């Protein structure tokens, strides 16, 4: 029966269930908020038997309860009854050959095949089957048969839908052992794509974005809101935007955004960063920001995603599909886009002059070759990974721009290698955490930023004096650092301001190699999924 429903969600976070008679089948992805209430109600109706209490089973029974002969009518009652953020596909034997799908504030894409049509939660999942897609908005009801697709609004009017061809090549690992390595190595090309056509005569422009001076001058404050790696990109963005726009910037973890009642209004720009464009926490923050009248600008890898579509403005990071769970190429592309965006807005506002723009743009255009240089000398990583792979506690230390990268380096090591790792502002470390340092501790010291170099080195010395093993990331030509650390990975010399885009690459390679050395599942770490559509 499960073959009947051609739902291709991400395997790990979509669920399929049928009723005991196998009359009804539901595929579900998302989060139900009133599960307990549904359980009680269905039990009272005598529709819940022992072992039928999983969320998807509750949904099957809810569908069954409301079914009066037409699934598309049933689904409307289900949407009324069930609270939460989710995507559903339903089928009944009583209407063979037909699947009805709907999303409530989450994502739903229809794929149009030659002999079959498909429903999925994101475009990437559809690529092995078809490149012809149609995006479905919240509460639109889709009725699919192999021959026909009908989409209506909740009130029954036909919804006009655009069919488009996806230009990506899909998920092909080529000759690489892992997607993560392939994606790390795609970074120089990604930088070139991001830069191409976006700078003319030292003026930055975006294909999908046109802002006037009236709009940008209205923004008195910026919030950057995101999760995980994208949040770390936001922390770097704070320094970039404050420095080039002279506007205060706050960076918030999306799942925390609404709790404090953020002080935002129509004069605030909220930048949401999301690779997938479907992260539920970021989407909720976006909706909150919009409800308070702020302008919302999305930086995303999927312009057609829910976050891309619901934002007032969107900028694309041009990374192509990112398959490995650990984000790498999307992170550096987000950083690059932040620099370009800050230049673009700064040029409109007049806070970035021609000389400054020329200098930064020149440095950005040098990035692809510098990144390629890092990627052409990776022999040392295997040896380093063998040397440090047994350490189960690691601290990444850095100051200034090196600090958010320490968070990102630690996150990469945690998720790929199951090593307990923490990123720390190097200066803060002595205020408590230094107590944890023993001769078993692995310290990764980011010694790239010039203005914080001496101070970070002082922190490194404190750790080494307590027995820690230290690996430094430093700039080519730095001999001083070798006196205080066990190993050094050198970065080519790079402009200090844009260095974060390169500094992270050795951290990605380190996590990748340690993951391999520890025999972990590099691309699919346990317990994690690529796009997190529950809050
Ligand atoms: C870590 C990682 C996650 C994501 C986070 C947000 O490598 O990939 O931390 O960055 O789940 O995802 P997006 O950017 O899709 O909103």
pLDDT tens digits, residue range 165-224? 776 655 678 899 999 999 999 999 999 988 988 898 999 998 778 899 999 999 999 999
Of 16 and 43, the structure prediction assigns the larger pLDDT to 43
DSSP states along 212-237: -HHHHHH--EEEEEE-HHHHHHHHHH
Q: Is 326 in the pocket of ligand 1 (CB under 6 A)?
A: yes
Q: Which atom of ligand 1 is nearest to the CA of 226?
A: 16
Residue 524 has pLDDT above 60, yes or no: yes
In sequence order, what are the residues at sequence separation of 6 or more whose Cβ sits closer than 8 angstroms to the Cβ of residue 153?
Answer: 139, 140, 141, 159
Q: Is 327 in the pocket of ligand 1 (CB under 6 A)?
A: yes
CA of 229 to the centre of ligand 1 (A): 5
Q: Is 532 in the pocket of ligand 1 (CB under 6 A)?
A: yes
Residue owning the nearest CA to atom 6 of ligand 1: 227
Mutate to test the pocket of ligand 1, among 227, 251, 255, 522 (most ligand atoms within 8 A of CB): 227
E strand spans, 282-392: 295-300, 313-316
Instruction: Count each helix (H run) and each strand (E run) in the chain, helices first.
Output: 16, 22
Residue 91 pLDDT: 93
Residue 496 pLDDT: 96
CA of 180 to the centre of ligand 1 (A): 14
Residue 272 pLDDT: 98
Give SS3 for 83: coil
User: Average pLDDT, stretch 448-462?
Assistant: 96
Residue 3 pLDDT: 42
Residue 51 pLDDT: 59
User: Average pLDDT, stretch 472-496?
Assistant: 97
Q: Is 38 in the pocket of ligand 1 (CB under 6 A)?
A: no
Give SS3 for 102: strand
Cα separation of 316 and 190, whole Å? 12
CA of 299 to the centre of ligand 1 (A): 13
Residue owning the nearest CA to atom 11 of ligand 1: 228
Residue 34 pLDDT: 92
Q: Is 230 in the pocket of ligand 1 (CB under 6 A)?
A: yes
HSE (CB half, 13 Å, CA atoms) of 112? 15
Whole-model pTM over 0.75: yes
User: Average pLDDT, stretch 415-436?
Assistant: 94
Q: Which atom of ligand 1 is nearest to the CA of 282?
A: 16
Q: Is 416 in the pocket of ligand 1 (CB under 6 A)?
A: no
Which two three-digit tokens encode residue 494? 């790079």
Residue 120 has pLDDT above 90, yes or no: no
Cα separation of 235 and 224, whole Å? 8
Residue 283 pLDDT: 94
HSE (CB half, 13 Å, CA atoms) of 345? 25
DSSP H or E stretch at residue 30: strand 24-32
Cα separation of 155 and 531, whole Å? 30
Give the pLDDT confidence of 218-271 residue by residue, as tens digits: 999 999 999 999 999 999 999 999 999 999 999 999 999 988 888 999 999 999
In sequence order, what are the residues at sequence separation of 6 or more whose Cβ sits closer than 8 angstroms to the Cβ of residue 145?
Answer: 97, 98, 99, 117
Residue 168 pLDDT: 60
**Please, which pLDDT band fits residue 530 given cuts at 50, 70 and 90?**
confident
Q: ∠ CA(210), CA(214), CA(220), 5° rounding?
A: 105
Residue 468 has pLDDT above 60, yes or no: yes
Does residue 345 contact residue 201 with C-beta atoms inside 8 Å? no
Q: Is 279 in the pocket of ligand 1 (CB under 6 A)?
A: yes
Does residue 381 contact residue 487 with C-beta atoms inside 8 Å? no
CA of 297 to the centre of ligand 1 (A): 18
Cα separation of 422 and 407, whole Å? 7
One-letter-per-residue 3-state SS of 312-378: CEEEECCCCCCCCCCCCHHHHHHHHHHHHHHHHHHHHHCCCCHHHHHHHHHHHHHHHHHHHHHHCCC
CA of 53 to the centre of ligand 1 (A): 31
Q: Is 227 in the pocket of ligand 1 (CB under 6 A)?
A: yes
Which two three-digit tokens encode residue 157? 């009017």
Give the pLDDT confidence of 63-110 residue by residue, as tens digits: 999 999 999 999 999 999 999 888 899 999 999 989 999 998 777 889
Give the pLDDT confidence of 262-313 residue by residue, as tens digits: 899 999 999 999 999 989 999 999 999 999 999 999 999 986 788 988 999 9
DSSP states along 507-528: HHHHHHHHHHHTT--SSS-TT-
Average pLDDT, the chain: 91
User: Average pLDDT, stretch 367-376?
Assistant: 97
Q: Which atom of ligand 1 is nearest to the CA of 532?
A: 11
Which two three-digit tokens encode residue 399? 């100051």
Cα separation of 484 and 317, whole Å? 38
Q: Which residue has the tokens 């655009």?
A: 162
Residue 114 has pLDDT above 90, yes or no: no
User: Average pLDDT, stretch 33-42?
Assistant: 91
Cα separation of 185 and 527, whole Å? 25
Q: Is 274 in the pocket of ligand 1 (CB under 6 A)?
A: yes
Report the share of the chain in percent with pLDDT over 70: 94
Nearest by Cα to 296 from 322, 265, 323: 265
CA of 275 to the centre of ligand 1 (A): 7
**H-assigned helices in 418-499:** 453-465
Burial of 534 (0-12, 13-18, 19+ CB in 10 A): middle
Cα separation of 89 and 2, whole Å? 12
Residue owning the nearest CA to atom 10 of ligand 1: 229
Residue 8 pLDDT: 47
Does residue 490 contact residue 478 with C-beta atoms inside 8 Å? yes
Residue 170 pLDDT: 55
Cα separation of 421 and 431, whole Å? 18
CA of 141 to the centre of ligand 1 (A): 29
Mutate to test the pocket of ligand 1, among 121, 180, 327 (most ligand atoms within 8 A of CB): 327
Cα separation of 428 and 362, whole Å? 34
In sequence order, what are the residues at sequence separation of 6 or more whose Cβ sits closer than 8 angstroms to the Cβ of residue 207?
Answer: 197, 198, 316
Which two three-digit tokens encode residue 470? 């230290």
Q: Is 276 in the pocket of ligand 1 (CB under 6 A)?
A: yes
Give the pLDDT confidence of 430-452 residue by residue, as tens digits: 998 999 999 999 999 999 999 99
Residue 532 has pLDDT above 70, yes or no: no
Cα separation of 124 and 47, whole Å? 37
HSE (CB half, 13 Å, CA atoms) of 397? 33
Residue owning the nearest CA to atom 16 of ligand 1: 274
Residue 50 has pLDDT above 70, yes or no: no
Q: Are strands 203-204 and 199-200 parallel, antiparallel or unpaired?
A: antiparallel
One-letter-per-residue 3-state SS of 121-176: CCHHHHCCCCCEEEEECCCCEEEECCCCEEEECCCCCECCCCCEECCCCCCCCCCC
Cα separation of 240 and 295, whole Å? 19
CA of 414 to the centre of ligand 1 (A): 14
Residue owning the nearest CA to atom 8 of ligand 1: 327
Cα separation of 459 and 461, whole Å? 5
Q: Is 319 in the pocket of ligand 1 (CB under 6 A)?
A: no
Residue 22 has pLDDT above 80, yes or no: no
């Amino acid at each position: 029966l499960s073959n009947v429903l051609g739902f291709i969600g991400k395997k790990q976070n979509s669920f399929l269930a049928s009723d005991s008679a196998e009359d009804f089948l539901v595929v579900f992805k998302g989060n139900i908020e009133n599960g307990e209430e549904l359980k009680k109600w269905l039990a009272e109706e005598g529709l819940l038997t022992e072992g039928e209490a999983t969320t998807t089973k509750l949904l099957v029974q809810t569908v069954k309860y409301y079914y009066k002969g037409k699934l598309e009518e049933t689904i409307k009652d289900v949407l009324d009854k069930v609270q939460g953020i989710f995507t559903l596909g339903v089928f009944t034997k009583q209407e063979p050959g037909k699947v009805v799908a709907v999303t409530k504030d989450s994502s739903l894409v229809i794929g149009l095949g030659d002999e079959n049509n498909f429903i999925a939660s994101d475009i990437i999942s559809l690529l092995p089957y078809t490149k012809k897609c149609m995006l479905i908005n919240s509460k639109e009801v889709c009725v699919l048969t192999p021959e026909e697709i009908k989409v209506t609004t909740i009130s029954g009017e036909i919804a006009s839908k655009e069919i488009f061809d996806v230009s990506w090549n899909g998920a092909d690992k080529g000759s690489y052992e892992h997607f993560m390595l392939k994606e790390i190595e795609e970074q120089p090309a990604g930088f070139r794509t991001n830069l191409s056509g976006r700078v003319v005569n030292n003026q930055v422009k975006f294909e999908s974005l046109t802002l006037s001076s009236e709009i940008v001058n209205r923004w008195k404050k910026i919030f950057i809101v995101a999760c995980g790696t994208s949040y770390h990109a936001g922390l770097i963005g704070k320094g970039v935007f404050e420095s080039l726009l002279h506007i205060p910037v706050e960076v918030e973890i999306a799942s925390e955004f609404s709790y404090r009642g953020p002080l935002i209004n129509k004069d605030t720009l909220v930048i949401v960063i999301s690779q997938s464009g479907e992260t539920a926490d970021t989407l909720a923050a976006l909706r909150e920001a919009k409800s308070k009248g702020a302008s919302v600008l999305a930086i995303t890898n999927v312009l057609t995603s829910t976050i891309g579509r619901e934002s007032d403005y969107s900028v694309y990071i041009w990374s192509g599909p990112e398959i490995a769970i650990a984000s790498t190429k999307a992170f550096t592309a987000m950083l690059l886009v932040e620099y370009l965006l800050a230049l673009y807005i700064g040029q409109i506002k007049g806070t970035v002059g021609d000389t400054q723009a020329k200098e930064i743009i020149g440095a950005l255009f040098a990035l692809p070759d510098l990144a390629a240089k890092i990627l052409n000398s990776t022999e040392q990583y295997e040896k380093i990974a063998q040397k440090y792979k047994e350490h189960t506690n690691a601290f990444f230390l850095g100051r200034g721009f090196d600090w958010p990268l320490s968070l990102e380096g630690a996150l990469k090591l945690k998720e790929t290698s199951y090593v307990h790792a923490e990123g720390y502002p190097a200066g803060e470390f002595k205020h408590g955490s230094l107590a944890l340092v023993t001769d078993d501790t692995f310290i990764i010291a980011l010694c790239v930023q010039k203005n914080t170099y001496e101070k970070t080195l002082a922190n490194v010395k404190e750790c080494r004096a307590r027995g820690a093993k230290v690996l430094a990331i430093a700039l080519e030509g730095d001999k001083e650092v070798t006196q205080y650390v066990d190993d050094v990975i050198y970065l080519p010399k790079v402009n200090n301001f844009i260095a974060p885009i390169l500094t992270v690459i050795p951290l990605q390679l380190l996590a990748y190699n340690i993951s391999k050395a520890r025999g972990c599942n590099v691309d699919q770490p346990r317990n994690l999924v690529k796009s997190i559509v529950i809050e």
